[in-house]
Amino acid sequence: MAELFFIPIGIVVGIMSGFLGIGGGIIIMPILLLFGLSADQAVSTSLMFTLGTSLSGAATHTKMKNVNWKVAANIGIVGALVAQASKFIVIYISGRYDWLLNICLIVLLSYFAWGMHKRKNLQEKVPRVINPYVALAVIGVATGFLSSLLGIGGGFIALSFLMLWQGFDSRKAIGTSLAIIIFVSAGGVIGYGMQFHLNYLLGLYLIIGAFMGTPVGAKLTAKFTSEEIKKIMGRLYVFVIASLAVDLVSEFYLPVLKWLSLSIILAFLVYLLITISVTIIRSKRAKPAN
């Protein structure tokens, strides 16, 4: 019953998912690989987990009126179709040019980190590009392709583009991003399920944890200002960039550095939990006594 260990992992990563609007695959994937799962098993299991986090998180954010379902459906459907169509590219790249993928992700995440830092006053519903429909199409393509390639829901991609190109505020971007992941991860799970044997038991335990943790993270967004959430997102990108850079070095020089790469991501998770805990404690102390 070693799989039971993945329930608390699902809870912790689920909290982060609900709070930041990402599926959590970026953390689950390296954990699954280090536990000995093959690449295809890790990708498919990660997508099952992100489907669970996105369903749970989107449901909670919908109640909080943080989801634009029209935008989510448009991007999500495009993303799901691209994820299926890009399988041949994924098969060709995977295992051959992983280092090139890391470089592309570092460049993309650097743009997101810069955007979060530079544009301090993002206004909701003010498009950042000339044609918003072109923006939706590009977001869908990028989200779907990276989802298929990395076994992630693509939430951190969709989230950033929603804020930087579509002008969504932090909470609306988080909720809508989770709704987008539903479409993309569901398409990925179906696609992989038709080609590979999925570890449904392991996926179920992760999803159980996700359903417990994600609503907690979603509700915690109400305790932070939009600017505070945006700063935390920017720090997430910095941690991920550092992790990818270390992973890139491990590909050519020191394979043992893959553990350091995972440790950097886990360090952000610890930082996030501490930040949330401190904010909750401060808010309780700030309440006037009855």
Provide the residue type at 17 as one letter: S
Banded pLDDT at 124 (limits 50, 70, 90) = very low
Q: What is the pLDDT of residue 98?
A: 61
Distance, in Å, from the CA atom of 204 to the CA atom of 258, rounded to the nearest integer, reads 27
Provide the residue type at 258 as one letter: K
* Within-domain flag for 94: yes
Give pLDDT tens digits for 171-181: 899 999 999 98
* Within-domain flag for 290: no
Count of domains for the chain = 1
Distance, in Å, from the CA atom of 290 to the CA atom of 264, rounded to the nearest integer, reads 43
Give pLDDT tens digits for 150-205: 656 677 778 888 887 787 888 899 999 999 989 988 877 777 777 666 778 888 89
Banded pLDDT at 249 (limits 50, 70, 90) = confident
Q: What is the pLDDT of residue 120?
A: 53
* Within-domain flag for 200: yes
Residues of the domain holding 207: 2-272
Distance, in Å, from the CA atom of 168 to the CA atom of 147, rounded to the nearest integer, reads 22
Higher pLDDT, residue 83 or 53? 53
Q: What is the pLDDT of residue 177?
A: 92
- What's the residue count for the chain? 290
* Within-domain flag for 107: yes
What's the whole-model pTM score? 0.80
* Within-domain flag for 173: yes
Higher pLDDT, residue 225 or 254? 225
Give pLDDT tens digits for 16-46: 889 988 878 777 877 786 777 776 677 778 8
How is the chain split among helix, strand and coil, in percent rounded to 5? 80, 0, 20
Q: What is the pLDDT of residue 163?
A: 83
Q: What is the pLDDT of residue 143?
A: 83
Q: What is the pLDDT of residue 118?
A: 64
Percent of the chain with pLDDT over 90: 18
Helix (H, G, I), strand (E, B) or coil at 11: helix
* Within-domain flag for 62: yes
Assess contact for 39 and 148: CB atoms under 8 A: no
Distance, in Å, from the CA atom of 159 to the CA atom of 181, rounded to the nearest integer, reads 10
Query: Closest Cα to residue 239, out of 206, 272, 217?
Result: 272
Contacts of 116 (CB under 8 A, 6+ apart): 160, 163, 164, 230, 231, 233, 234, 237
Distance, in Å, from the CA atom of 102 to the CA atom of 238, rounded to the nearest integer, reads 14
Assess contact for 79 and 154: CB atoms under 8 A: yes
Q: What is the pLDDT of residue 114?
A: 76
* Within-domain flag for 277: no
As a whole number of Å, the end-to-end CA separation of the chain is 48
Q: What is the pLDDT of residue 208?
A: 93
Look at the block and give the residue holding tokens 């609900």: 18
* Within-domain flag for 77: yes
